[in-house]
Structure 1
Amino acid sequence: MLLPEYRSKELLAKYGVPIPPGFLARSSNDAETLCARLNTSRYVVKSQILAGGRGLAGGVKIVDTPSAVGAEVERLLGHVLVTDQTGPRGEIVQSVYVEAALDIVDNFYLALALDSATGGVMLLASEKGGVEFEERARMDDTVYGTTIIGEDTPEERKKIKAFLSEHGMGEDAVVDLAFAARKGFIENELTLAEVNPLAKTRRGDWIAADAKAALDPNAVFRHPEFEEFAHLQHRDAIEAEAQANDINMVKLDGTIGVVVNGAGLGLAMHDMIIEAKGRPANFMDIRTTATSLKIAKGVQLLLSDPNVRCILLNVHGGGITLGDTVAEGVSVAYGHAKRKVPLVARISGQNADRGLAILKEHRLPVEVVDTMSDAVARAIALAS
């Protein structure tokens, strides 16, 4: 679960990571009034969305007066910001963060991530921070070094200092910052703590000019202080409704609605559809906790999408989610839908025969196939 920039900074600052003074603005009038707190002649006005690329999209501005701060806050609040990472739908700016501008002489990159191979905390560093880092990383260029950062001991500090020195950050202040971030990373069960850029100012200070923190979604119940940000993760009302019904769904711009149980199976279906020159309208993963009525709600969301011309159902019954449970949900959805697009169905595993019988008994516009390849080919043909 991603946290917005201002909350990410607050979290890291709690452990000793230096951040610029700033405040959260929810109206232009409040922003102008609160500027007096910052004791600066230049201000940075930042839209608070979860996606990156804000600066290039006009979501970050440097201004010189409180009145200009108010004008920028007015421009951003309530408006949709479209960046490279939001997709064409963009994100609505619901809050704006205002900071004192820094006198920066150089930008670096520093991040902590969970190392899946060892379960340790991985430290990433680069001497090319800021937009330049994002651009180079987008081209799959190797732009940083990595190492595992352990407990704060004299031996570990010596190792980390040598590592950071290779990337232009060998000062004790940065070593302190790295271990401070590590403590916050572990205590808050994060999967990512990114400082980009880590700015070096003309005075020689090292400050987190921007930051991003991601909390393990499975650990949210242990951190109620972050629950207020859960709603921000759903950038689309349809996706939020699906989540409320125990269905993981991401809306796409294709014509084939995909109904699948299991993230791996869903990704495989997407690969096959795209390789066959088809266009999926969504990603869907029916959770094991979803009942037939919740599954029906997810399918109804697809049937209500005017872009969806065909639905491809590919499920494997087993464990908690059975083939007939999914079929019941699909039948209920079609029974209440105004649009009844063609349905291509492949059900295998436990209660598969019963599931297919349900689809036929309810006289759905269904074509039953035996293999995934056949399902993909037929769905593409019907969607065309």
Structure 2
Amino acid sequence: MDIHEYQAKELLAGFGVPVPRGSVAYGADQAVYAATELGGWHWAVKAQIHSGGRGKAGGVKLCRTYGEVAAAAKAMLGATMVTSQTGPQGKVVNRLYVEVAEPFTRELYLGFVLDRKIERIRVIASAQGGMEIEDIAHSNPESILQIEVEPAVGLQPFQARELAFGLGLNIKQVSQAVTTILGCYRAFRDLDATMVEINPLVVTKDDRVVALDAKMSFDDNALFRRRKVAEMRDVAQEDPREAQASQHGLNYVGLEGDIGCIINGAGLAMATMDMIKYAGGEPANFLDVGGGASPERVQTAFNLVLSDKKVKAILVNIFAGINRCDWVAQGVVQAARNLKVPLIVRLAGTNVEEGNKIVRECGLPIITADSLADAAQKAVAAARAHVPA
């Protein structure tokens, strides 16, 4: 789960990370009022969407007067902002963050990610901030500093100091940078985050180290014990299908292909998508119905897949362990009665004979498959041959 910049800054500030003073606004009048309350003569008006690259898309405006603040707010609110990370569909701006704009002399990069390969938190830093870390890695990889955190002891102060000195900071700045680095680590650890990114981390003219921008992502499976974080969820910024799937306990991720997938088990889902690609097709989604794939859940899964108008065929691949093939087959038949795209079904596992019998005798034009490879090939062929009604 992602959250907005102002929410990430609120959480990080609670762990001692210095952030500029700011206030959220939902309208132009609120934005102007926020600027008057913050004081000063320079403000940054920032669009709050779940995406990076807002500055290049016009989502960050520096203002010197209340009139400029109002104009920037009116231009952003309600607009669909397209960045390098949103895709062509963009995201609608429903809220703003008005922040005191302070002059700075340097931009740095600081990030914390969960490295699943080594099962460690990886800390990444660079003296070149204000740009995407991927661009830094491409243009100047030697500027990137990395530390792997040993989970038994956590991130140590000496490691934070090594990073700070590696960024070329002076003694006064190093002390503040260490506070920021350790604070970000504690926030990552204590809030079940999967990513914390401060880009840029700036050095002001009076030698303060401040988090000018912040992003955080969290493990959905841990939200039950992080109620404060869970309450920060902005469903309007998510794919409606993914939000609906979450409400029904389904795992759904929309993709760009035309073969809808309904599968139980994340590993089997990944293998199925790989097999579709190997057969020459493109999966339209990742959808894991889980172990309790009741007829009702299967029906919900079909509705989710069919909400994508690009889908030309649906592949159902169920390996029943805890589940039962006959139970799943009932849901498939029920959902397929008014289906207008080809349906390919492959069942295996508990009660597979009964499940296949239900599918064969239902009287519907369901294509059955004996193996995953066979199912993928039939799904690709059916999608290519399908002519929309």
TM-score, normalisation: structure 1: 0.90
Runs of 4+ in 1 over 6 A off after TM superposition: none
Q: CA–CA distance in 1 between the matches of 2:367 and 2:346?
A: 9
Equivalent position SS for 1:229: coil
Question: Could you list the runs of 5+ residues in structure 2 that have no partner in the other structure?
Answer: 385-389
Alignment of 1:218-229 (within 5 A): 218-229=221-232
Alignment of 1:70-149 (within 5 A): 70-116=70-116, 121-137=121-137, 144-149=144-149
Offset, 1:162: 2.2
Distance 1:150 1:2 in 2: 26
The amino acid that maps onto 2:160 is I
1:296 counterpart SS class: helix
Amino acid aligned to 1:93: V
1:269 aligns with 2:287: no
Taking a change above 3 Å as real, the CA distance of residues 362 and 234 of structure 1, as seen in their structure-2 partners, is farther
Q: Which residue of 2 aligns with 1:258?
A: 261
| CA-atom RMSD in angstroms | 2.5
Question: Helix, strand or coil for the counterpart of 1:357?
Answer: helix
CA distance in 2, matches of 1:317, 1:234: 35
Distance 1:46 1:128 in 2: 22
Task: Note closer, same or farther for the CA distance 1:299–1:280 as it changes in structure 2 (3 Å cut).
Answer: same
The structural deviation recorded for 1:88 is 2.2
Whichever residue aligns with residue 99 of structure 1, its letter is: E
TM-score (norm 2): 0.89
Aligned length: 379
Matching of residue 315 in structure 1 with residue 326 in structure 2:
no
1:238 counterpart letter in structure 2? R
Summarize deviations over 1:317-357 as a string: whole Å, max 9, x none: 112x332332222222123x3x4321112111222222222
The answer to whether the 8 Å contact 2:264/2:293 transfers is: no
Give, in whole Å, the separation in 2 of the partners of 1:17 and 1:353: 60
Alpha-carbon distance, 1:262 to partner: 1.6
Q: How does 1:3-18 map to 2 (within 5 A)?
A: 3-18=3-18
Q: Tell me the equivalent position of 2:41.
A: 41
* C-alpha displacement of 1:209: 0.5
CA distance in 1, matches of 2:230, 2:132: 33
Evaluate the alpha carbon distance shift between residue 231 and residue 291 of structure 1 in structure 2; reply closer, same or farther with a 3 A threshold: farther
Contact 2:3-2:234 at 8 Å conserved across structures:
no
Q: Tell me: CA distance 1:231–1:357, structure 2 relative to 1, closer, same or farther (3 Å).
A: farther
Q: SS of the residue aligned with 2:184?
A: helix
Question: Are positions 1:200 and 2:229 aligned together?
Answer: no
The answer (yes or no) to whether the contact 1:257–1:310 under 8 Å persists in 2 is yes
1:248-281 deviation digits (Å, cap 9, x = unpaired): 1122332211111122222222223234331222
Displacement of 1:64 in angstroms is 2.1
Deviation at 1:157, TM superposition (A): 2.3
CA distance in 2, matches of 1:237, 1:172: 44
State the 1:49 CA deviation: 1.2
Rounded Cα–Cα distance in structure 1 between residues aligned with 2:105 and 2:58: 23
Identity of aligned residues (%): 36
Q: Report the Cα distance in structure 2 between the residues aligned to 1:234 and 1:349, rounded to whole angstroms.
A: 39
1:182 aligns with 2:185: yes
Q: Which residue of 1 aligns with 2:371?
A: 371
Structure 1 residues without counterparts, runs of 5 or longer: none
> Per the alignment, in what secondary structure is the counterpart of residue 98 of structure 1?
strand
Question: Quick check: 1:173 aligned with 2:214?
Answer: no
Q: Deviations over 1:92-133 (max 9, x none)?
A: 222111111121211111122345467554322111112253
Distance 1:316 1:143 in 2: 48
Q: Is the 8 A contact 1:327 1:359 kept in 2?
A: yes
Q: For residues 343-384 of structure 1, what are the alpha-carbon distances to aligned partners after superposition, in whole Å with 9 as ceiling and x for unaligned?
A: 112111222222222222222221112222222222111111
Distance (whole Å) between structure 2 residues aligned to residue 333 and residue 36 of structure 1? 57
Question: 2:299 is matched with which residue?
Answer: 296
The whole-number CA distance in structure 1 between the counterparts of 2:200 and 2:50 is 16
Q: Classify 1:157/1:254 alpha carbon distance in 2 versus 1 (closer, same or farther; 3 Å).
A: closer
Aligned with 1:243 (options 241, 246, 251): 246
Q: In structure 1, the residue corresponding to 2:346 is in which secondary structure? A: strand
> How far apart, CA to CA, are the structure 2 residues paired with 1:324 and 1:243?
25
Stretch of structure 1 that moved more, 277-286 or 222-231: 222-231
Contact 1:22–1:98 at 8 Å: present in 2 too?
yes
Counterpart in the other structure of 2:32: 32
Structure 1 residues 225 and 307: CA distance shift in structure 2, 3 A: same
Distance 2:87 2:123 in 1: 29
1: CA distance, partners of 2:68 / 2:212: 21
Give the aligned residue type for 1:157.
P
